[in-house]
Amino acid sequence: MTATLLPQELIRLKRDGVSLPAREIQAFVQGIADDRISDAQIGAFSMAVFLNGMNHEEIVALTTATRDSGQVMQWDALNLPGPIIDKHSTGGVGDLVSLVLGPWVAACGAFVPMISGRGLGHTGGTLDKLESIPGYNPYPTPARFGEVVKTTGVAIIGQTGNLAPADKRLYGVRDVTATVESIPLITASILGKKLASGLDALVMDVKVGSGAFMPTPEKSRELAKSIATVATQAGTPTTALLTDMSQPLAPCAGNAVEINETLALLRGERPHSRVMQITRELAVEMLMAGKLVANREEALTKLEKTLTSGAAAEAFARMVRELGGPADFMEHSDSYLATAPVIQAIYPEQSGIIQRIDNRAVGMSVVELGGGRLRNDARIDHRVGFSEIAEVGERVDNQRPLAVVHACSEDAAAQATGQLRAAVTLGEAAATAETLLQDTFRGDA
């Protein structure tokens, strides 16, 4: 559809707080994808939205326009005998949920074409973790992606250039124009990519706490509600869970160390851990959204069966194998995952009970160790990070360390030790962790 407004006129209207018609938003976004809109105009539009916001109809229009700016995946030709469901998280520290959740839900009969990203800021990236596995290819051809989803039930890959290309340009400009923290723009960015995957349903994990993407609990809540309602109105039934990220979700943070933890969880070794509790809640929502179960109790039974039988672990192993990783990775992961040359326990300078953890500081320490990127072109050191991280409410002393650091050198280990000690507040009062699942938003509510 041809726009009736020049780009500068559309920007002027939004600058002055005027609501934009859906057709004008559609044309502007397509212009971004086609390179007809300049970076300067994208920046001006983003700032206008950042300052003046968008109403609900505008956000739906921006989301669907972003989704439709490139390829929207079609699964009908594969005749999949189950629902196509996915999950997305706003990210955090020790958040390896996707690595367990995708195979687990696939083992229950769903098909999970999960398109994930790399680390951003202090948050770890699912693709960076998977690339700890030698040979794993997160960028298969579209045909191969479909084959793996059909035969394995799950494939976790990176975003290709054909999916939501407008978002790639829009996000790049937002990142350098101080307009990232906008609920309408974040909603459209997340959902534009996810809905282009051709899903039957989506479950969203929105984090709250010191390691969350959003700066305040109120903003996290607002984002969760926006995503659930906008995605559902855009045609993909969506539920958003508001979950705690005030301390590392898993007892580790890094890349290879999180893959190790993933394998332990899939083997059923830590069924009651914090990360497994959240993963289970998300899995329940996915099974119910896909109508694979009638209720929560049936979902929990199905999930327990596939975990204890080894079916979830086998789905992960097949995915790794089909995407180029070792055929015996599940059985011999120690032979394939690189280990850091320096591995040391970090003991507190004085004993005490952990009262609080600055989770963002923990994530940034992993980045500085080399487990994340300080520049876009930096190489990841998959070996580094923290393991055996103590939780809020746990006593640490000369027997129970704060964590174990995995570093490339003694100097790097010493720096990370100081950073982790500074990130942890100790005391003698009993302390309780924040509630893991804080709220649920259903788009059809």
- 280 in catalytic set: no
SS3 category, 92: coil
Active site residue 89: yes
Given 90, 189, 197, 365, which residue is catalytic?
189
Name the active-site residue from 46, 66, 69, 86. 86
| C-beta neighbour count of 399 within 10 angstroms | 9
Catalytic residue among 122, 168, 174, 382: 174
Residue 116, SS3 per DSSP: strand
The answer to whether the CB of 33 falls within 8 A of the CB of 169 is yes
- Residue 193 designated active-site: yes
* C-alpha span between 391 and 394 (Å, rounded): 6
Q: How far apart are CA 195 and CA 236, in angstroms?
A: 7
Residue 126 annotated as catalytic? yes
Catalytic residue selected from 14, 63, 64, 88: 88
Is-catalytic flag, 86? yes
Q: Which run of H or of E encompasses 300?
A: helix 296-308
Residue of 89, 152, 236, 279 marked catalytic = 89
Q: Hey, is 208 helix, strand or coil? A: strand
Q: Which of 98, 126, 238, 365 is flagged as catalytic? A: 126
Structure tokens at 119: 């680390």
Choosing from 118, 129, 194, 221, which is the catalytic residue?
A: 194
Contact 157, 114 (CB under 8 A): yes
Catalytic residue among 87, 122, 321, 383: 87
| Residue among 203, 283, 278, 285 at smallest CA distance from 244 | 278
Number of residues that make up the chain:
445
144 is catalytic: no
Check 193, 225, 383, 406 and give the catalytic one: 193
What does the radius of gyration of the chain's CA atoms come to, in whole angstroms? 22
Kindly tell me the number of DSSP H helices and DSSP E strands found in the chain: 16, 13
Active site residues: 86-89, 126, 174, 189, 193-194
